[in-house]
Amino acid sequence: MVDAVDSIISYFQDELIAFPVLNPERSDLFLGCISQEGRDEILLLNHDRILLNSEIETITQGHSKLFQVDRKANERRKDGGSGRKSFITFAIGSIFAVGIDEVKEIIDLPSSLLQPPGLPAHFKGMLNLRGKLVTIIDARTMYSIPALENSSSSKVLVFERDGVDFGIVVDSVEAIVSFADQDKIKIPDFLCRNSENGLTEDITEAVQINGSDGKSQSLPILSVKSIAARVKQSVPF
C-alpha cells in the first residue's frame, strides 16, 4: 500500500546513481537514485528484494489465517469472466484511460521537435526517440479542445500499433487503475457516430469508478487501434 501514484517516469541505466551504503542490512533494498533536471531525486527500490523480505512474508501468512477466502465465492469469481487488467488514466480536459499494456512508454513533452513541411494542425512534429522517429500528436488540437494555457505537466504517451509509432500529448498522467472486463460498459454505436470533434469515435467502452470525491463516475477508455487508424489516415507522407 502506498500513499499515492505520483507519476510514471523513464530512465536509462547509465542515469542511475549508485546509492551510498549506510546500512549493509538495508542497502540491497535500493537499486540507486534517479536525478532528473527540474525534479526531486527519486530513490529506486529493488522490488525483488522487498517482496522477499521475511517480515512481509510473516505478515502475509498471518493475514491469510485471519481472512480465509470462501472457496465457493472464489469459484464464482473465476467463472464470471477474465481477470483484472490495469489501465493508465490521463487528462485531456477530462479524465480518460488506456490499457497499460498498450503504452510503450511515457515521456516528458519535448522542448523541440523536427518540423517536416505540410503537417496538419494537430501534428506537433517528429521526435527522434533513441534512433526511431515518432510522430507527436496534440490530442487537444486533434479533438478540437481549446489549448492548455500551462503545459508544464504535459506528458506524451508513446504507442506502437499497426506499424505506426506515434505519441499523444496529454495534459497530465493521473494514476494506474485496475478493473475486470465484466466491469466495462459498451458505448452505444449512435453515440460514437454522432461526434463533432471525433473524440467519441475513439471511445467504444467505459467503466464506472469512484472518483476522488467518493462519487461514482464514468471513465471512458480510448481505443488505441482507432487512434492509430486516425493518425495513419492523416499522415501526409
Tell me if residue 94 falls in helix, strand or coil.
strand
Which residues lie below 8 Å from residue 230, measured CB to CB, with a gap of 6+? 142, 198, 201, 202
Tell me if residue 103 falls in helix, strand or coil.
coil
* Alpha helices, H only, 23-151: 47-51, 54-66, 71-79, 139-142
Identify the pLDDT of residue 183.
Answer: 75
Cα radius of gyration rounded to whole Å, the chain? 21
Strand 132-138 to 172-180 pairing:
unpaired
Show the CA angle centred on residue 42, arms to residues 40 and 46, nearest 5°: 175
Residue 95 phi, psi (nearest 5) = -90, 135
d(CA 169, CA 151): 10
d(CA 226, CA 198): 11
Largest CA distance in the chain: 66
Helices and strands (H, E) in the chain, number of each type? 6, 14
**Neighbouring C-alpha atoms within 13 Å toward the C-beta of 19:** 19
Identify the pLDDT of residue 169.
Answer: 93
Note the pTM of the prediction, 2 decimals: 0.62
Asked if 105 and 153 count as a contact pair (C-beta separation under 8 A), the reply is: no
- Domains of the chain (ranges, CATH numbers): 13-66 (no CATH), 84-234 (2.40.50.180)
Identify the pLDDT of residue 156.
Answer: 93
Per-residue model confidence as pLDDT tens digits over 117-162: 777 888 888 888 888 888 899 999 888 888 888 888 899 999 988 7
**Neighbouring C-alpha atoms within 13 Å toward the C-beta of 109:** 16
d(CA 143, CA 73): 44
Which stretches of the chain score pLDDT less than 50? Answer: 66-73, 76-77, 80-81, 190-194
Identify the pLDDT of residue 12.
Answer: 78
d(CA 201, CA 193): 6
Q: Which residue has the cell 487501434?
A: 225
Q: Which residue has the cell 526531486?
A: 40
Per-residue model confidence as pLDDT tens digits over 169-184: 999 998 888 887 777 7
Per-residue cell: 180:
475486470
**Neighbouring C-alpha atoms within 13 Å toward the C-beta of 112:** 1
Identify the pLDDT of residue 82.
Answer: 53
